[in-house]
Amino acid sequence: MNHSVLIGVLLLGCGEVQPLATDAEVSSDFDAGGMGDAGSVNCETLAVDLPVSLLGPGASHAPLALVRGTNELEPAEIVSPALLSARVDGDSVVWRRDRFVAVRPGLSRVHLELGACRISSEVEVLSFSPFATEVLDVSTGPGAGHGRDRLPDVVLGPPEGGGAYSGSLHVLSLGVSGSITLGFGALQLYDGPGPDFIVFENAFLVAGGAGVFAEPARVSLVTSDGDEVRFECSELYPYEGCAGVRPVLAHPDNDRAPTDPLEAGGDSFDMEPLATLATAIRLVDIGSSTTTIGANVGFDLDSVALIHAWPREVRSIEPEAPTLMLPVGARMLVPRVTARLASGASLRGLTAHVESEDPSILSVESQIILARAPGSTELSLRAGPHNTVITVEVYDP
CA-to-CA distance for 295 and 244, rounded, in angstroms? 15
Domain 3-127+314-395 has CATH 3.90.550.10: no
Question: CATH: 2.40.30.10, 2.60.40.420, 1.10.10.10, 2.60.120.260. Which one for 134-311?
Answer: 2.60.120.260
pLDDT digits (tens, 9 = 90+) for 151-182: 999 999 999 999 999 999 999 999 999 999 99
Q: Are 108 and 88 in contact (CB under 8 A)?
A: yes
* Helix, strand, coil content of the chain in percent (nearest 5): 5, 45, 50
Cβ contacts of 225-234, under 8 Å, gap ≥ 24:
228/282, 229/274, 229/275, 230/274, 231/269, 231/274, 233/286
Contact in structure between 277 and 385 (CB atoms under 8 Å): yes
Q: How distant is the alpha carbon of residue 175 from its chain centre?
A: 31
Per-domain boundaries in the chain: 3-127+314-395, 134-311
pLDDT (average), residues 68-95: 81
- pLDDT tier at 282, thresholds 50, 70, 90: very high
pLDDT level of residue 31 (50, 70, 90 thresholds): very low
Per mean pLDDT, which range of 70-79, 133-142, 307-316 is the poorest? Answer: 70-79
- pLDDT, tens only, 299-358: 999 999 999 999 999 999 999 899 999 999 999 999 999 999 999 999 999 999 999 999
The answer to whether the beta carbons of residues 187 and 308 sit under 8 Å apart is: no
Average pLDDT over residues 104-119: 90
Q: Which of 382, 200, 190 is nearest to 278 (CA)?
A: 190
Mean pLDDT of 378-397: 97
pLDDT range class, residue 366, cuts 50, 70, 90: confident
**Local confidence band at 52 (pLDDT 50, 70, 90 cut-offs):** very high
For residue 264, the SS3 value is helix
Cα 116 from Cα 114, distance rounded (Å):
6
The pLDDT confidence band at residue 132, using thresholds 50, 70 and 90, is: very high
- Average pLDDT over all residues of the chain: 86
Q: Is the pLDDT of residue 220 over 80?
A: yes
Q: Is 255 helix (H, G, I), strand (E, B) or coil?
A: coil
Residues 6+ apart with CB under 8 A from 349: 49, 50, 51, 52, 53, 61, 336, 338
- DSSP of 194-221: S--EEEE---EEETTTTEEE---EEEEE
pLDDT confidence of residue 67: 81
SS3 at position 150 = helix
pLDDT category at 12 given cuts 50, 70, 90 is very low
